[in-house]
Amino acid sequence: MIDTLAGPGAGEADALTGSDLLAALRERRVDENRAAADQLDLAARWADLHPPESIHSAAAFTVPGTDHEEPLAGEGCPLVAEFCVAELGTVLGISSTSAKKLIGHALELRHRLPRLWAQVQAGSVPAWRARSVAETTIHSTPALTREAAGFVDAQVAAVAGGVGPAQLDRLVAETIKRYDLATPDPAADPEDGYLSVDPRHATLHDEDVHFAGTMRFEAELDLADALDLDRELAHHAAQQKALGSTESLDVRRSKALGDLARTQTALDLVTGDARSQGRDPEDGLPAAREVVLHAHFSAESVGEQTVFGPTGRLEEGQRLLLLDQVQSWCGDSRTKVTIKPVIDLNAELAAPGYAIPDRIREQVILRDRTCVFPWCTRPARGCDVDHVIEYDHQAGAEGRSQPGPTSPRNLACLCRFHHRLKTHTAWRYRVIGPGCFEWTSPHGHRFRRDFTGTRLIDEPETPPPPGIPRPRRR
């Protein structure tokens, strides 16, 4: 039975006892921690190679939008040239944001948490545990001074980094109090604090979507508004039950809240013709609360009918979308549905000038989906559309052909940071196919980026230079 569960190749490990396997696993974990510690050290040394002085030209003037000094960690840590972060991230296969966090943690540990840094390099504290401490001290509110960070460092190092998130939060709070870093909070007054704070809010927690297709909405209302809303929800829930709904009271109240978002129950302060305001002429109520969603479903022709696949993609959050969900939304009362023409991503479009028309911009956004820089995941709809080969404004006047036409073949979506990176640094990229790009970093690393993701091209097998830790091999 055990041999069956072990699967093919199990006989090759018959010579290893349980103790051997545990020892091997332990050794691999030690190697993993050592490699993570080396990454922190190398990231800090990469930052050392790119101080703010490295971005100042001899002409001593600043070009708007170019590289600038970037603080990545707390007070007392050196500044770093902003654009150095991108190349580090690409060779590690992570986004520029993740690379920025890695460098920030390395600098925070080396300069503000030196005891913990030494323990990481000695192998007595795992790098992930030290990085969690660095993340907390970097983003503490209010900010920790260098002396305050040193106090946290001493306390954490005394227990070899063995503090949990709750303990760390209490330690930081105690440090803020000890060093008198917090500004007086009038809202904390036990008697009159309510005079200095307004707790009302309405917050949609859209970062956490349930598998059932629901989101959590949290609100703090005025007392009278809360009571009115509760009565209105109870009334609508009762109406649903009277009309035959068998769902629970909580579900009916939730649906009632959605109905309130699509209808108007308060006094209409806008006067004028109902039809001119987009209202139903029969009752004067709004046709719907319009919510713009960009949903994409693949379709194929079956006989004389067009059949859509059961699943698609919702641009907002890059989430999976079911066709049944869209059908249920469209079936709700007073829902305004706008159907846009299908865009053929293979259509050859072009514009005569530098400006990018909406039809071309939309085609490029749908094709690229995200920023096309290696490993970047920023949605394309919030990106710039860049001419891969620069548009020559003088070509027409001088009778030359346009080297950088305004066409999807020469356009790509780049978030603002990577657009600036491409414009003001030695990073270069070229089109090698529809929606497929090849990037070359200042140090010669090449990457291919398409709709499937990013791949490193022709990684050189060069030995590490002297002074760089060499990975252990077996």
Q: What is the spatial order of strands in the sheet that 295-296 belongs to?
A: 295-296, 311-314, 319-322
Q: Which of 203-212, 242-251, 333-342 has the lowest mean pLDDT?
A: 333-342
What's residue 69's pLDDT?
61
Is the omega angle on the peptide bond into residue 142 within 30 degrees of 0, that is, cis? yes
pTM of the predicted model, to two decimals?
A: 0.70
Per-residue pLDDT, averaged over 391-404, amounts to 89
Q: Is the pLDDT of residue 364 over 80?
A: yes
Q: How confident is the model at residue 472 (pLDDT cuts 50, 70, 90)?
A: low
- Report whether pLDDT(382) > 70: yes
Q: Highest mean pLDDT range out of 237-241, 269-273, 297-301, 429-433?
A: 429-433
Predicted pLDDT of residue 334: 58
Give me the pLDDT at residue 454, please: 94
Task: Please give the residue that has the higher pLDDT: either 110 or 395.
Answer: 110
- Please give the pLDDT value at position 155: 96
Separation of alpha carbons 356 and 347, rounded Å: 16
Q: Are β-strands 311-314 and 411-414 bridged in parallel, bridged antiparallel, or unpaired?
A: unpaired
Higher pLDDT, 132 or 3: 132
Domain ranges for the chain? 26-182, 295-331, 358-457
The residues near 340 (Cβ < 8 Å, ≥ 6 apart) are none
Mean confidence (pLDDT) of the chain: 81
Q: Which residue has the higher pLDDT, 311 or 93?
A: 93
For residue 408, the one-letter residue type is P
- Confidence band (pLDDT; 50, 70, 90) for 206? confident
The whole-angstrom separation of Cα 217 and Cα 197 is 22
The per-residue pLDDT for 269 is 40
Cα separation, 335 vs 262, whole angstroms? 7
In sequence order, what E strands does 360-410 have?
Answer: 384-387
One-letter-per-residue 3-state SS of 403-443:
CCCECHHHEEEECHHHHHHHHHCCCEEEEEECCEEEEECCC
**Using one digit for the tens of pLDDT, what is the confidence trace for 57-70?**
433 334 445 555 66
Residue 390: its pLDDT value, please?
Answer: 94
Residue 265: what pLDDT? 46
460-471 per-position pLDDT tens digit: 555 556 666 655
pLDDT in tens, 18-38: 899 999 999 999 999 999 999
What would the pLDDT profile of 215-268 be if each residue is shown by its tens digit?
888 999 888 888 888 888 998 899 888 889 999 999 999 988 888 876 644 444
Percentage of the chain exceeding pLDDT 90: 47
Q: Calculate mean pLDDT across residues 175-180.
A: 93
Q: Is 356 helix (H, G, I), strand (E, B) or coil?
A: coil
- The mean pLDDT value for 2-12 works out to 52
pLDDT of 184 over the 80 cut: no
* Torsion sign, CA atoms 83, 85, 86, 88: positive
